[in-house]
């Protein structure tokens, strides 16, 4: 009896299956995206504890002239904010070397251990030096969590859902931020060490949950195929796709993936950090760097790290500042949901960046203008609260939701860990620079600009928007292998969306030839039996 295989001659493109059909893949990606909660938890924790009397009694000093009665030294404030990003910079830059020999899952397990150690050091010390060490260790773990969770979700998802799965990053970050801000608000009136030790303690939550969850996650199929472990890659691929697609479509996507990776390896001289800056990969690397750098260029790190403290020094009461931080984060969470809908159904990647940069710049500019025209008034206080919340909504809906999907799409499978890792390192370096320099602008001991600092970020956002409009190609709906082909053909940015690719048709031909060969093999034994009867 012949082997029945699906007819593929009429298939022109892979179908866009529903969220429910892909529930298994989405659940796996959600587990991996949980890694990014750590980033949100720590950012909210840091933004809050540096304004807590319980923390400032140990690591700050009394200052009756400051709202709240205690102040934090500028140098200590700079270092606790910047050492996390320094640690993340150190780990992200070596992500490619780690991925050269080990997979995505081992990197995430290692990160879980490091973040737990970093949190434990900070909880158990009264020494500023030990806090610095804890921040660096926590940052090293955070760098691996952010880098490898986003790489995994980009490699695991079908093309039409890749924007959503990688945008899980923003959902996880905002979930962590909401939890962190809520815990901060609950403990901020305590006058002992528990006021900051409890928020630091919830940072054990992510390593514990993720360590267990990863046992149910298959390794990245693209990483396995790239390392020559095709059988394991096929098993992982089938686990991720489940029953979301017909057998013919699954076979076609698999062949396209393998063929694309094989073609890329044939064209490459090697796989190492220098390859990021050779040939067509140079363009891809620079675009990836620009996308990640836009997170800092938008002013997000300033808002994330200093929003609560910034409100207090700008005239908002301590109690209200903590409550408004929760509100701001909640509004940002709503923005993520809107961004995911826009990214899938309404706007392309390029439009998301351009529109987002415009709105972010306008909200920063409005806050700075009010600070200039109405300094020290209730109007300024209300403007800071309103425009900070609106900015957070816009950032999470546009640049925040889109940056990691695009960064992971822009680069090749062979170099993804190197390119994304070093781009995130650049992002963390810029974040460190922001964390280190911001106190000079907002701290009463220094320039004391307050909300006028928004002028800097307004200009930065407008520059980013112009860059993305001119140079960012449209990647929506493309498989990673199609994107490889478009860059290899040196297609200009404005033609990416309309250019037809060849790899899908080549994969279709391979599957059809294989299908015909199987049908022929299945007929031969039948013909021999009939001859014997004659």
What is the number of H-type helices and E-type strands within the chain? 23, 2
Task: Look at residue 533 in the predicted model and tell me its pLDDT.
Answer: 41
Task: Look at residue 182 in the predicted model and tell me its pLDDT.
Answer: 86
- Exposed/middle/buried for 65, CB within 10 Å: 0-12, 13-18, 19+? exposed
Task: Look at residue 130 in the predicted model and tell me its pLDDT.
Answer: 92
247 HSE (CA, 13 A, CB side): 5
Task: Look at residue 530 in the predicted model and tell me its pLDDT.
Answer: 43
534 HSE (CA, 13 A, CB side): 6
d(CA 426, CA 433): 10
Q: Are 322 and 187 a contacting pair, CB within 8 Å? A: no
Q: Does residue 237 carry a pLDDT above 70?
A: yes
Average pLDDT, integer, range 247-276: 80
Average pLDDT, integer, range 294-311: 78
When comparing pLDDT for 398 and 431, which is higher?
Answer: 398
Quick one: pLDDT band at residue 523, thresholds 50, 70, 90?
Answer: low
Domain-by-domain residue ranges, the chain? 23-229+264-495, 504-534
Q: Does residue 9 carry a pLDDT above 60?
A: no
pLDDT in tens, 22-53: 999 999 999 999 999 998 888 888 877 877 88
Task: Look at residue 287 in the predicted model and tell me its pLDDT.
Answer: 95
* Token pair of 525 as six digits: 């034994």
Task: Look at residue 225 in the predicted model and tell me its pLDDT.
Answer: 92
Per-residue CA distances from 199 to 283, 326, 452 (Å) = 42, 14, 30
pTM of the model: 0.76
Q: Are 343 and 402 a contacting pair, CB within 8 Å? A: yes
CA 343, distance to chain mean position in Å, is 15
Task: Look at residue 90 in the predicted model and tell me its pLDDT.
Answer: 80
Q: Where are the alpha helices (DSSP H) in 398-493?
A: 399-410, 416-442, 454-471, 480-488
Task: Look at residue 121 in the predicted model and tell me its pLDDT.
Answer: 94
Share of the chain above pLDDT 70, in %: 88
Average pLDDT, integer, range 225-247: 91
Task: Look at residue 282 in the predicted model and tell me its pLDDT.
Answer: 92
Which H helix or E strand runs over 165?
Answer: helix 162-187
Q: Does residue 320 carry a pLDDT above 90?
A: no
Average pLDDT, integer, range 271-280: 81
Mean pLDDT of the chain: 83
Task: Look at residue 271 in the predicted model and tell me its pLDDT.
Answer: 61
Share of the chain above pLDDT 90, in %: 30
pLDDT in tens, 112-149: 999 999 999 999 888 888 999 999 999 899 889 988 99
Question: CATH fold of 23-229+264-495, please?
Answer: Growth Hormone; Chain: A; (1.20.1250)
Q: Does residue 72 carry a pLDDT above 50?
A: yes
Task: Look at residue 4 in the predicted model and tell me its pLDDT.
Answer: 40
Q: How many CB atoms lie within 10 A of CB 277?
A: 10
Average pLDDT, integer, range 252-278: 79
d(CA 260, CA 163): 20
Task: Look at residue 275 in the predicted model and tell me its pLDDT.
Answer: 84
């Amino acid at each position: 009896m012949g082997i029945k295989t699906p007819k593929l001659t009429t298939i022109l493109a892979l179908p866009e299956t529903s969220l429910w059909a892909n529930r298994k893949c989405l659940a796996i990606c959600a587990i991996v995206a949980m890694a990014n909660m750590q980033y949100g938890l720590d950012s909210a924790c840091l933004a809050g504890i540096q304004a807590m009397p319980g923390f400032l009694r140990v690591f700050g000093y009394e200052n009756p002239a400051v709202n709240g009665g205690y102040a934090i030294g500028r140098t200590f404030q700079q270092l606790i904010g910047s050492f996390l990003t320094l640690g993340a910079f150190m780990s992200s830059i070596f992500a490619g070397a780690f991925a050269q020999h080990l997979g995505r899952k081992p990197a995430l397990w290692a990160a879980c251990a490091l973040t737990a150690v970093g949190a434990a050091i900070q909880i158990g010390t009264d020494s500023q030096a030990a806090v610095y060490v804890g921040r660096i260790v926590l940052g090293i773990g955070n760098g691996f969590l952010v880098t490898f969770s986003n790489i995994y979700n980009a490699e695991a998802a079908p093309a039409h859902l890749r924007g959503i799965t990688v945008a899980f990053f923003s959902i996880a970050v905002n979930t962590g931020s909401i939890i962190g801000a809520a815990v901060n608000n609950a403990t901020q009136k305590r006058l002992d060490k528990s006021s900051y030790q409890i928020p630091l303690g919830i940072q054990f939550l992510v390593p514990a949950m993720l360590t267990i969850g990863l046992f149910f996650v298959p390794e990245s199929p693209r990483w396995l195929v790239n390392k020559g472990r095709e059988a394991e890659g096929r098993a992982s691929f089938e686990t991720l796709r489940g029953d979301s697609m017909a057998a013919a479509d699954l076979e076609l996507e698999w062949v396209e993936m393998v063929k694309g990776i094989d073609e890329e390896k044939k064209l490459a001289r090697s796989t190492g950090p220098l390859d990021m800056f050779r040939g067509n990969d140079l363009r891809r690397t620079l675009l990836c760097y620009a996308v990640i750098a836009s997170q800092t260029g938008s002013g997000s790190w300033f808002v994330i790290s200093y929003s609560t403290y910034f409100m207090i020094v700008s005239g908002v009461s301590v109690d209200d500042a903590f409550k408004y931080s929760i509100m701001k984060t909640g509004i940002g969470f709503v923005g993520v949901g809107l961004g995911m809908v826009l990214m899938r159904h309404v706007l392309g990647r390029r439009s998301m960046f351009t529109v987002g940069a415009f709105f972010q710049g306008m909200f920063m500019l409005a806050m700075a203008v009010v600070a200039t025209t109405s300094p020290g008034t209730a109007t300024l206080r209300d403007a800071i609260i309103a425009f900070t919340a609106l900015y957070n909504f816009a950032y999470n809906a546009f640049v925040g939701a889109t940056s990691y999907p695009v960064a992971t799409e822009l680069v090749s499978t062979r170099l993804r860990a190197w390119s994304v890792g070093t781009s995130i390192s650049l992002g963390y370096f810029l974040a460190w620079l922001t964390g280190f320099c911001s106190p000079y602008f907002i701290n009463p001991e220094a320039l004391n600009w307050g909300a006028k600092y928004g002028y800097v970020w307004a200009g930065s956002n407008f520059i980013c928007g112009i860059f993305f409009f001119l140079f960012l190609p449209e990647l929506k709906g493309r498989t990673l292998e199609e994107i490889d082909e478009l860059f290899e053909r040196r297609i200009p940015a404005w033609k990416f969306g309309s250019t037809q690719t060849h790899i899908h048709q080549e994969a279709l031909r391979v599957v059809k030839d294989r299908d015909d060969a199987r049908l022929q093999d299945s007929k031969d034994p039948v013909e021999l039996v009939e001859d014997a009867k004659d």
